[in-house]
Amino acid sequence: MASNTFRKELEVERSDVLISLAGPNSELLAELGKQTATTVNLRGNSLLVAGKPSDVELAHRFLSGAVAWVRGGFRVSCHDVAPALRSLRDDPTAALTDWLDQVITLASNKRVAPKSLTQRQYIENIRSHDLSFGLGPAGTGKTYLAMAMAASALLSREVKRIILTRPAVEAGEKLGFLPGDLAEKVNPYLIPLYDALYDMMDYDKVEQLRAKGLIEVAPLAFMRGRTLNDAFIILDEAQNTTSQQMRMFLTRLGFRSKAVVTGDLTQTDLPGQRSGLAEAHALLKDVPGISFCQFSDRDVVRHSLVQKIVVAYEGKDAADAQRRRPQRSAAEDPRRSSQATDGASRASSPPHDSRAQTLRNKGAPPGT
């Protein structure tokens, strides 16, 4: 190793914390070294980081925070390294310990912590507002964190029930051929909400609460005419709501209730009409008491490929919008459109016979 390599050491007093942090075969340390272009090694009860000064400082910031997380009973995995480093790069003053003040407690042995600065802000928004919106691409934790907040509120008796809903929009498929009534037809569309619930609580506990009516999962159409008091309501996939549906849902909010609306405006399945989520954002973004949290591809916490896929599609969307802009400009300028029409008319008219016109003006017979 070159003599000008910078080194920094972090001592960890508890060996169990050190072993848990390093992971099997020190895989987390290897991932950290890969992501920061450093080498990270165990030496006794210390972690030794070597590399360029800026890279070493970044890796050391991560390790300092990760040690605090493990001490607090949280597991830090290889999948947490990349999103955490993105947040630390974005904000040189940030520390992973800053996120621990927004931990969601579900039970004595189950807690959920934010994995990015945006997730931390999102949780804080939900805690401090009765109506919150989470907007952004897939894989950023919008629905999962909202579900965790709802489960925590129910278990701590802050609310009396959880209501989970989403619009039953046919994303390229048809519902008509499916057996059963409307509720049974849309049930497959609600599976992601069930999956999140089962990840928060034991299966038997969820089924017990559902049987008692304390957890309700229903299509958005079933919300009409209701006033939802003492409830935590989540509207998922809200980009597929119409203007009327969004207005109906937002006016269901009752006393001592919270509502969270999540969606990705780039994935709307509505045919030929504006999303109710886009309209709500435009109308309500400056209304006191309502919060909006915008996620980006940098907040993706799923498989590393998901972030790359999101970036690729966002690039395509931007290019498509750029190509459509000149067409819209021409259509919106009536003078340009009129001039283009007049020019086309003149170009398509047959040429005048100037000699015949002159003779007619002098009174000569047309056949001359």
295: its two tokens: 């996620």
| Strand stretches in 136-279, DSSP E | 161-166, 215-219, 231-235, 258-263
The residue that leads in pLDDT, 281 or 297, is 281
pLDDT for res 160: 95
pLDDT at 72 over 90: no
**Percent residues over pLDDT 90 in the chain:** 42
Cα angle 222-225-227, degrees, rounded to a multiple of 5: 100
For the chain, list the domains and their CATH numbers. 1-102 (3.30.1370.10), 103-303 (3.40.50.300)
SS3 content of the chain, % helix, strand, coil (to 5): 55, 15, 30
What is the tens place of the pLDDT at every residue in 196-247?
888 888 889 888 998 999 998 888 888 888 889 999 999 999 999 999 999 9
pLDDT confidence of residue 305: 74
pLDDT class of 148 with cuts at 50, 70, 90: very high
Task: Pick 267 or 132 by higher pLDDT.
Answer: 132
Per-residue pLDDT, averaged over 111-135, amounts to 93
For 150-186, what is each residue's pLDDT tens digit?
A: 999 999 999 999 999 988 765 444 555 556 665 566 6
User: What is the Cβ-side half-sphere exposure of residue 333, based on CA atoms within 13 angstroms?
Assistant: 12
